[in-house]
Amino acid sequence: MGVMTDYFRAADAAVVRRVLEAADGGSPLLGPQRALDGVEAKGLDPTVVLGQLVAAVRQVPWAVDLVGDTPVWPATPPPGRDGPEDEDDPWLTGPWVFELDAGTRDTLAAIPDEDIPAVAARWARAEELHGASAESLCPVVGDLAGLARRARVAGDLLYCWTCL
């Protein structure tokens, strides 16, 4: 079973929650009318794989806290609740949406088009990418950089929708 991930931009978490409620938690990138501007990126989780990209751009070692994220969906559990209660609990089953920190958006937005091949080559060295080539990663880097640029210009943040 693979992890599905989509990255998209929105003004704030309230907009994201409204779109997800209308889509019954489904990806805001699916359907005949895409609700939000985004990029489909199967398997590129925000903490590790996107974190490896951010590390490649910044030319620093990867760290677990390199990409800051805040849960947006499902809603925050009520106070005093420690975790999932049953197999139908959305915290256990997903989907999940995380708001990414502005530093991640700005790092991706700052990738000049002419540097995309070099960034992709550095990113391709990440063990989690299982030997992907720099050439195959160039379009992903370009798509994520473009999304981040549009988000920064609009004053939006980046979000990651994840589902098993």
Q: What tens digit of pLDDT does each residue of 27-40 get?
A: 888 765 578 999 99
Kindly report, residue by residue over 105-160, the tens digit of the pLDDT.
999 999 999 999 999 999 999 999 988 999 999 999 999 999 999 999 999 999 99
- Would you list the domain boundaries of the chain? 4-163
Provide, for the chain, the percentages of residues in helix, strand and coil under a 3-state DSSP scheme, each rounded to the nearest 5: 40, 15, 40
Give Cα 128 to chain centroid, integer Å. 16
| 84 — pLDDT class (breaks 50, 70, 90) | low
Model pLDDT, residue 10: 96
| 77 — pLDDT class (breaks 50, 70, 90) | low
Question: Which residue did the predictor score with more confidence, 47 or 75?
Answer: 47
Angle, alpha carbons 23-141-13 (nearest 5°) = 35
Any idea which of 13-17, 42-46, 85-89, 111-115 has the lowest mean pLDDT?
85-89
Model pLDDT, residue 65: 95
Q: Is the per-residue pLDDT at 92 higher than 70? A: no
Model pLDDT, residue 35: 81
Q: Is the per-residue pLDDT at 79 higher than 70? A: no
Q: How far, CA to CA in Å, does 64 sit from each of 20, 61, 68?
A: 27, 10, 9
Kindly report, residue by residue over 53-68, the tens digit of the pLDDT.
999 999 999 999 999 9
Average model confidence (pLDDT) across the chain: 89
Model pLDDT, residue 21: 87
For domain 4-163, give the CATH number.
Answer: 3.40.1760
Q: Strand pairing of 157-163 and 96-100?
A: antiparallel
* Residue 10, token pair as written in the block: 């929105």
Specify the 3-state DSSP secondary structure of 27.
coil
Please state the rounded mean pLDDT for residues 40-49: 92
Tell me 60's DSSP state.
S
